[in-house]
Each structure stands twice: as C-alpha cells, then as structure tokens.
Amino acid sequence: MSPFSSGLPGLLQDAGLVLGLVISLMIGSYLIRDNFLARLGQYVLIGAGLGYLAVLVWRNVLWPRLFAPLIADPMSWQSATASDLFSLWLPLLLGLLMWGGGLELLRPPPDRLRGRVLLRLLAAVPAAILGGVVLGVAVSGAVQGTLWPLLAAALQLPQPEAVAATGGPAGAGQATWPVRLLTLLITGGVLIHLQYGPIVGEKEKGASSPRASSPVEADAGAAGRPNLFRMLIRTLLRVWEGIGRRVLWLAAGIIFARLVASRFSLALARLDYFLFEVPRSDLWQLLWAALRGGGS
C-alpha cells in the first residue's frame, strides 16, 4: 500500500483543475505575443510529460524486468546461463553506457583523446542498437501490417462462396475489382512520384538532372534514335507520376484539414472546461469567496 494508491482529496483534485487553467492561460498568451509565461508553460508541459514517461518506464519495464531480478539474486551472474546474461546484465551494461554518454554530452567537448572521448564512442554502441531495433521493427511492421496486406487484398479474387457466406450481393466480388485497381494505381503513382518525380519534372522543363535517371529513361537516352515503345513507356510513367503527385497533394490536404478540425475540437473542449468544470470546483469557490471577502 503506497501513499499514492488511494484517491486524492477533493481540494487537491480541484487544485489540478485550477493549475490546468493557469497553465492553459499561460500557453494561450502566446497568441498575443511571445513572452516568458508562454515559454514557461510549454516547459512545464514538456517536463511533466517526460517525467510521467520516465515513471511509466521505471514501474513497468526497468524495475520488474531488470532491477528486481538482479536485486533478488545479486550473485546470479556466477551461475547464470548465456540467455540470462544477455537478458539482464547486457541491457544493464548498455543502459549505463548510454547514461554515461548522455551525461558526458552535456559537458564541453574534450580537447584531446582521453577517457571522455572513449566514453562517447562507447555510448554510440547502445544508441546504434536502439536505433536499429526501432527502425527494423517499424519497417517490418509497415511491410507486414500495411503494404503486404494491401497488396494481397488487391490481388486476391473473392470466391463466390465467400461472398454468398457474407450475405453480399452476387456482383459484390466484381464490384471490388475497380476499387482494388484504383488502390494499386494510386499506390504505384505515389511511389513513382517519390522515386522519379523530380527527374520527370526536370525532363519536362528541359533541365539536366543531377540525380541518376530511371532505368527506362537511361535506356531511352542510350538509344540513338527515338523508339515508339520507349516513348510510350515514358509517357505512361509521366501520366502515372502525375496521378500520384496529385493524390499525394489531396492526401496532404485531407490530413491538414483533419488536423485543423482536431485542434478546433480541443479548443472547444478547453472552453467547455474553463466555463463549466473550473467554476464548479470547491477550490475555485473557496478562492472566489476569499477574493470577494478581501475585496469588500
């Protein structure tokens, strides 16, 4: 039973409402001009978020999975297996190296090759491992969870038995093919635009591209005379790239519109919070009574 297991008293809960009001007004003062209160409110918000994240990491990861097993049996490294060493002592060593390198980066850089430079170089090892794991998980998750299911769903032909089992109409399987072809068209156009978009634009303007051209354009340039098939392929790629570019603009506009709408929703929620939640709190009533009593 910790002191933070029970609920907070009513006044402290109301103090959180009033503190949120004060910090919101401090950050909102940035609309008038950039000032010290707005920056202070941002620093408090970021610091509170990082502190909360550190507490969550300590309570859910570091203490139950690393420090508690090591403290329970400090001499376990003498009889530990290779898997135990890699799961407990190696993460502890890499974490200490990263912490030491992070603290060392806060100091001025050394002039000569000493232990401080060696500590910075050793701290790059856990940082590289962490970055590689994060990128590997992100890329594999994107391929397995997004790209491959989309491609499989676009190429798979639904069986009539499956369509009938779902209760759909008889032409539902044929009706999904235009959607799948449109998905492949848009996805391929965006990929072509991201890969060869600047090259296509420069070719249309007649400028030389500093980047390497696509294999199709390289083969077309290597040929001494124009080829109808190559010209058809280049035209098709140019049209496909234009579709992908415009779809990318449309997607960016939709994302921006949703972002603006979400910000308006947050602003309305804050306004409702200021007008209804804060005045009903006990602490606000107490402060208001004290101000009225002091004013009279």
Q: How many CA atoms lie within 13 A of 242 on its CB side?
A: 7
Could you read off the pLDDT of 85-136 as tens digits, one per residue?
677 778 888 888 888 887 877 777 666 656 667 777 888 888 888 889 999 9
Instruction: Report the pLDDT averaged over residues 139-153.
Output: 80
Residue 70 pLDDT: 76
The residue behind tokens 């001494």 is 224
Given a cut of 90, is residue 277 above it in pLDDT?
no
pTM summary value: 0.53
Report in angstroms the alpha-carbon separations of 224 from 117, 211, 238. 57, 22, 21
Q: Beta-carbon neighbour count of residue 239 at 10 Å?
A: 11
183 compared with 60, residue with greater pLDDT = 60
Residue 36 pLDDT: 92
Query: Helix, strand, or coil here: 271?
Result: helix
